[in-house]
Amino acid sequence: MTALSVTRRALLAGAAFAVVLATGALAADKPTMGVVVKIGGIPWFNAMEMGIKEVGAKDGVDAFMIGPTSADPALQVRAIEDLIAKKVNVIGVVPNDEKALEPVLQKARDAGIKVVAHEGPGIQNKDVDFELASSKGFGEAHAELLAKTMGGKGEYAVYVGSLTVPLHNAWADAAIAYLKEKYPDMKPVGERYGVAENVDDSRKTALDLMSAHPNLHGFLAFGSQGPIGAARAIEEKGQVGKVFVVGPFSPGQGRKLIKEGAITGGFIWNPAEAGRVFVRVGKMLANGQELKDGMTIEGLGVIHPDPKTHNIITDNLQPINKETVDKLADLGL
Residue 3, classified by CB atoms within 10 Å of its CB into exposed (0-12), middle (13-18) or buried (19+), is exposed
Beta carbons within 8 Å of 53's beta carbon, 6+ residues apart: 63, 64, 65, 275
pLDDT of residue 136: 93
Name the 3-class secondary structure at 39.
coil
pLDDT of residue 1: 45
Residue 24's Cα: distance from chain center in Å?
34
Give the chain's residues under pLDDT 70.
1-28
Residue 7, classified by CB atoms within 10 Å of its CB into exposed (0-12), middle (13-18) or buried (19+), is exposed
- What's the pTM value of the predicted model, to 2 decimals? 0.70
CB of 216 within 8 A of CB of 155? Answer: yes
pLDDT of residue 16: 39
Name the 3-class secondary structure at 37.
coil
The rounded distance, in Å, linking the Cα atoms of 242 and 258 is 14
- Compute how many other C-beta atoms are within 10 angstroms of the C-beta atom of residue 269: 19
CATH numbers and ranges of domains, the chain? 25-133+271-316 (3.40.50.2300), 135-268 (3.40.50.2300)
Measured CA angle at 200 (ends 240, 222), to 5 deg:
70
Sheet strands (E) in the chain: 32-36, 62-66, 90-93, 114-118, 128-131, 154-160, 186-188, 193-194, 216-221, 244-246, 266-268, 296-297, 301-302, 311-313, 318-320
pLDDT of residue 188: 97
The rounded distance, in Å, linking the Cα atoms of 64 and 82 is 13
The amino acid present at 67, given as its one-letter code, is: G
The amino acid present at 5, given as its one-letter code, is: S
